[in-house]
């Protein structure tokens, strides 16, 4: 199937061509036709599947014939709600790319940055607004945003919205829009509460399911290291030094953990950056850009900050902590191994996290290969060995440190 078969108009086809896309992804093939027919849809798809274009292209097509001249007062006709600032900015960037041969103007608003420049753009008028819930409600309360003309309402990453406690805000925003509108709900998973939300705000939605959420891409090789909790930092340094080639996105469960690890890596001479909810937006964006552009090889993140972020050419994902939700594991490691590249997912598991691994393995229906030959095994019986290698920073280590030949155990 080609983009032409999807009956997209010429200015969009030109923009798609300029983006280098040759054919629509599965979610685009399935979602674009019903969205063009103005149907409500509920789409289960993860980041990396091309889901942003799946809603952005038909929205732009719908608005194309109605677009105002560039300088006339524009009214907001499409509203996209995103749980995180980075995702909002990424979605708006996509809209801008696809709308490059039109007069349609998009803009993203989110917290953590000053409100005045956002108000200035809103006053000039835009067609498409991408927003995080808090900043949207704030600006609406101050009368800078009028939602009376919304024709399409999109909820992106709805399950994360739920996890972050935004559902009441989302319902509030939905009620501020006209009743007669098209609603599109995108979510990596569709838990019961999202079903409930969907049934309250969508009308006869078409269901589209492109990715069974428990599947792990074939192009990702997974490896698990059992290690005592207190030695995780040492193993992490060892792996960064000896095993991990290319760039790496390291996940930690908490903001505190992210900061602590960043300090340790900096102290050990690594250029590491981090993103999490307590950092201001400009620092988050700078860190992300540096990582995406290849200036920094290590980015440490919490799940919430990194969710939905699309990073081309990510070589490694590193789970410093094992996530306590199997779905989170799939989301994390799905960042790598994209677009035909081979990716590697490394995970460190301490004794208290063993049950999480069991749940993950049941969920993905795969037993994660375990690397036993490393210097900090969980098994206390493993004998420490002394290194003779000249210049090695590791004078002492456990069995396996420095050994070239590594055995992999497949459970
Ligand atoms: P998304 O799932 O929307 O975050 O998109 C993931 C990545 O796929 C982005 O970098 C898009 O630019 C890219 N993309 C979207 N649609 C296509 C397509 N049809 N062909 C190739 N790449 C695409």
Given the CA of residue 94, which atom of ligand 1 is nearest to it? Answer: 12
Ligand 1: which residue has its CA nearest to atom 11?
Answer: 50
Place of tokens 């990453």: 157
Question: What is the assigned CATH class of domain 220-364?
Answer: alpha beta
**Of 129, 127, 125, 94, the residue nearest 110 (C-alpha):** 129
Q: Where are the domains of the chain?
A: 3-209, 220-364
**Of 337, 165, 345, the residue nearest 239 (C-alpha):** 345
Among 58-67, 178-187, 190-199, 392-401, the range with the most confident prediction by mean pLDDT is: 178-187
CA distance 298 to 262: 9
Beta pairing partners, 225 = 348
**Mean pLDDT for the stretch of residues 152-181:** 92
Our separate counts of H helices and E strands in the chain read: 15, 17
Ligand 1: which residue has its CA nearest to atom 12?
Answer: 50
**8 A C-beta contact, residue 103 and residue 172:** no
- Do the two domains 3-209 and 220-364 of this chain adopt the same fold? yes
Pocket test for ligand 1, best of 12, 24, 52 (most atoms within 8 A of CB): 52
Q: Residue 73 pLDDT > 80, yes or no?
A: no
Given the CA of residue 310, which atom of ligand 1 is nearest to it? Answer: 4
- CA 24–ligand 1 middle distance (angstroms): 9
| Max Cα-Cα span within the chain | 76
> Which pLDDT value is given to residue 37?
96
Q: Using pLDDT thresholds of 50, 70 and 90, give the confidence band for residue 191.
A: confident
How is residue 284 annotated by DSSP? Answer: H
Q: Using pLDDT thresholds of 50, 70 and 90, give the confidence band for residue 71.
A: low
Instruction: Give the binding-site residues of ligand 1, using a 6 Å CB cut-off.
Output: 21, 24-25, 28, 47-53, 310
Pocket test for ligand 1, best of 4, 16, 21 (most atoms within 8 A of CB): 21
Instruction: Please report, rounded to a whole number, the percentage of residues in the chain having pLDDT higher than 90.
Output: 62
> Which pLDDT value is given to residue 391?
42
Pocket test for ligand 1, best of 15, 25, 334 (most atoms within 8 A of CB): 25
* Architecture per CATH, 3-209: 3-Layer(aba) Sandwich (3.40)
Ligand 1: which residue has its CA nearest to atom 21?
Answer: 21
């Amino acid at each position: 199937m080609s983009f032409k078969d999807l009956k997209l108009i010429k200015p969009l086809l030109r923009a798609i061509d300029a983006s280098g896309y040759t054919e629509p992804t599965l979610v685009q093939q399935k979602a674009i036709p019903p969205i063009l027919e103005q149907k409500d849809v509920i789409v289960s798809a993860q980041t990396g599947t091309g889901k942003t274009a799946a809603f952005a292209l038909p929205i732009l097509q719908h608005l194309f014939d109605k677009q105002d001249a560039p300088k006339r007062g524009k009214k907001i006709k499409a509203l996209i709600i995103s749980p995180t600032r980075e995702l909002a900015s990424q979605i708006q960037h996509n809209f801008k790319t696809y709308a490059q041969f039109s007069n349609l103007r998009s803009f993203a608003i989110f917290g953590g940055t000053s409100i005045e420049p956002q108000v200035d753009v809103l006053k000039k008028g835009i067609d498409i607004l991408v927003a995080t819930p808090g900043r949207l409600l704030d600006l609406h309360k101050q009368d800078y945003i009028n939602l009376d003309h919304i024709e399409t309402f999109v909820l992106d990453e709805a399950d994360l919205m739920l996890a972050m406690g935004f559902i009441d805000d989302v319902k509030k925003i939905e009620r501020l829009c006209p009743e007669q509108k098209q609603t599109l709900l995108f979510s990596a998973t569709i838990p019961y509460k999202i079903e409930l939300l969907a049934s309250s705000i969508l009308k006869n939605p078409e269901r589209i399911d492109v990715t069974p959420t428990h599947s792990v891409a074939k192009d990702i090789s997974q490896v698990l290291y059992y290690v005592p909790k207190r030695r995780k930092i040492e193993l992490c340094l060892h792996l960064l030094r000896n095993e991990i080639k290319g760039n790496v996105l390291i996940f930690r469960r908490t903001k505190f953990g992210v900061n602590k690890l960043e300090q340790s890596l900096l102290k050990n001479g690594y250029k590491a950056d981090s993103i999490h909810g307590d950092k201001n937006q400009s620092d988050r964006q700078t860190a992300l850009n540096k990582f995406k552009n290849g200036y920094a090889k290590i980015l440490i993140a919490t799940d919430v900050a990194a969710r939905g972020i699309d990073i081309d050419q990510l070589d490694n994902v590193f789970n410093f902590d094992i996530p306590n939700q199997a779905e989170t594991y799939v989301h994390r490691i799905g960042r790598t191994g994209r677009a035909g590249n081979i990716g590697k997912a490394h995970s460190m598991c301490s004794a208290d996290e063993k049950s999480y691994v069991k749940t993950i393995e049941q969920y993905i229906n795969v037993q994660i290969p375990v690397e036993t030959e490393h210097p900090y095994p969980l098994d206390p019986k493993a004998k420490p060995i002394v290194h003779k290698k000249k210049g090695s920073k590791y004078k002492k280590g456990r069995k396996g440190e420095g050994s070239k030949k590594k055995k992999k155990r497949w459970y």
